[in-house]
Each structure stands twice: as structure tokens, then as C-alpha cells.
Amino acid sequence: MLSAAARALVFVFVVAVAVRLFPVQALDPAWQINVCSLLLHQAALPLLALVLMHAASAVHRSDGRLAAARRRWRVLAVAASLGFLLLLPLQGFATWRGLSQGLQQDAARRAAAERRSEAMLQAIQAATSIDNLQARMQRLQGPTLTPADRALPLPQLRRQLEVNLLAARRQLLDRFSGPSPTQVWAILSDGVRFALSSLAFAFAFAAGAQRRPSPEPLLLEWSRAFGRWQRWRPLRLGRRPRQSTKDPGRYLREFESRDP
């Protein structure tokens, strides 16, 4: 039952991810962000499946097929752990590209809105009659004059159209002014949440992962590598490494040095 549940969870994970991948748009930042978010939201399924497979092998220690499946899954968990680590730069790059493209599009829209409003303003000011004003508005795809508008004197109609045009221009420029502080905070908070969750899943998979030539879990390898780096760093900076007080050989060496 445990092994069957583990395989079922992996199948559900693959189906949920595969369905959402299409249509593939690998160069689209929005697609990249959606894929990263999807993998993060569904990551609990393969992690639970890995735990269940370990439990199945532990319950039935004499079953060679379960032991072999557990070893295969531990090797696959190495790729899963490294994949969640790689999601960190991918998510950051996709977010940066999405913001950059959004700012560029907003700048282009602002410039287009300014050019169009300036052309319409010049057309309103240069119109010699109401019919001429209507013709100029049609060429610029502007608003159509209503019968009430055509009943107004031309100077009053000009002022009314100018006021409406400037108000619409301000609304468009505000709309394309870039992300608001609330939106920026939401993006930053989502990025922090995503980064911490990705690290947590990476370490969780590393605890159950094991490379083929290695006799110990991947997380223990990382821990040993980090410990060696901590000891090597003071030497690189020109400082003597601090000796641990828990080293039993230290007291033996001190005792031998005092022995006459």
C-alpha cells in the first residue's frame, strides 16, 4: 500500500505539471514564473511519495524490489533537490525580465498616448469649423461629436474638448506610470516566500537523496562540505582556525606535551 501510494502521488504530480506546461513559451517571463510557482505548489506530492517509499522499504526490509526502488528514488531525489535550488535564480531572472518588459511597455504606451493626445489637441485648436473639427477627429480616430456638441459655438466646443482630452490624458499616464508601491511590495514578499520555500524543499529532498557513488545522503554531504568550507575560510583570510573544545585529541596532545 505504501509503495502504491508513493507511485500514485508521483503520477498525480507529473499530470498536474504536464497539463499546465502547454502551450510551451520558454522565453516568456510570465510562463517561466507560472511554471516555477506550479512546481513549488505541487512539490509536497513527490516529497511525500519519497517518504512513503522509504517507509515501505523499511517495513518490508526483505523485499529486494522495494530496496531497489528506494535506491532509484534516492538517485532521482538528487535531481529534485538540485532542481529546487535552480528555481531560485530562475525565478529571480524571470521576475526581473517581467518587470523590465512591463516598464518598457508602459513607457511605450505613455509615449504613444502623449503623441496621440498632442495630435488631437493640435487638431482641436486648428479646426476652422465644426464640420472641419469632426473631420479632423475622424482622421485621428477621436471622439464623434454628438448633436449637443454640434449645437455649441466653436470656441466653447474647443474648450470642452480640450478639458476632456487633458483629463483622459492624465488617466492614461497614471495607468502607465509603472507598478505602485503596493504592487512592488507584493512582488518582493512573493519572491521571499518563494525563495524560502524552494530552499526548504531542496533540503527536504536532499535528506532523502543519495548519489550512486556516495554511501551517505546528499544533505550530509552538503553539511560536511559546509564544515570544510568553514574551516578553510579563516586560513584564506589569514586567521588561525579556532580549535573546537570538543576535540578529544586536544587533551591527549596537551597531556603528552606535559609528560616528562
Average pLDDT, the chain: 82
CA-nearest of 134, 123, 198 to 162 is 123
Is it the case that residue 180 has pLDDT exceeding 80? no
Is it the case that residue 59 has pLDDT exceeding 70? yes
Return all residues near 94 (Cβ < 8 A) that are at least 6 apart.
29, 32, 33, 36
Is it the case that residue 231 has pLDDT exceeding 80? no
Q: CA dist 104 to 107, 176, 188, Å?
A: 5, 10, 20
- pTM exceeding 0.85: no
CA-nearest of 239, 244, 204, 238 to 222 is 204
Which long-range contacts (C-beta less than 8 Å, at least 24 apart) are formed by 95-103? Answer: 95/29, 95/33, 95/187, 95/191, 97/29, 98/29, 98/30, 98/33, 99/179, 99/187, 101/29, 102/178, 102/179, 103/178
CA distance 82 to 224: 17
At residue 9, the pLDDT reads 96
- In terms of pLDDT, which residue wins out, 130 or 80? 80
